[in-house]
Structure 1
Amino acid sequence: MKKLLSFALTLTVLLFAGYFGYKKYEHYMKNPWTRDGQVRSQVVQITPRVSGMVIKIHVQDNQEVHTGDLLFEIDPSSYKLKLKQAQARLERSIEVSRGYKTEYKRLKKITKKDRGAVSQKDLIRSEV
């Protein structure tokens, strides 16, 4: 019984020593010490708000940056193209809307003259 207790105690001490030794090693690997002082890096992941090709980099390697600093310029050509396409769709929709309004006014005049044109007028009104 005395041998078993001695073995268990020795094993427990070795396990604790191994665990704390590993934790100390892990700590020193993450935060190494030099003779002059401690070396610690701060690396932050950069995520853009939009995607695209980088056309200019405004920072140097190992330069300290702050929140709000301009780091990169992204090629705006794809966004300008999308803007032009959206503007063209808007203009087309406006023209279609004007056409519907003109057709509605025309059918409204026809309806006053001819009561049989009501169904076509209602059709155009529902499209507007």
Structure 2
Amino acid sequence: MSDLVARISEQPIDAATVDAAVAGPANGAVVVFTGAVRNHDGGQAVSALEYQAHPDAERFLRTCCDEVSTTTGLPVAAIHRVGRLGIGDLALVAAVAAPHRAEAFAACAELVERIKHEVPIWKRQHFADGMSEWVGL
């Protein structure tokens, strides 16, 4: 799938772009997952996140998308953001389209889990008290 949307981006993610990459007349369901920066983690107030990616991260992301699409036969797309993100910014948008909702939900959940576990992206949480910590190293 040469037109597959699977990107690492330093720019804000437009969820509609990811949705449009999978939507089509044969699909009655499009499931879009948006992962946003929240203001807390583990009882601490979070002020921002900083994502860094391995130089090959986009290749890993593309592999995840290709394999989920091949296994399910469904169109998938994903964009993961890197750089410093504020509260509410989108860090990950993933989408899957299917004729029916159950298969779209299942494939999207599988895609998001694979991205989280297989794509070499690390985040640094910046806390409101000025401290920070790396997650996923």
Higher-strand-fraction structure: 2
Structure ID, larger Rg: 1
Larger helix percent: 1
Q: Could you say whether these structures have the same fold, taking a TM-score greater than 0.5 normalized by the shorter chain as the test?
A: no
Larger RCO of the pair (alpha carbons < 8 Å, separation 6+)? 2
TM-score normalised by length of structure 2: 0.18
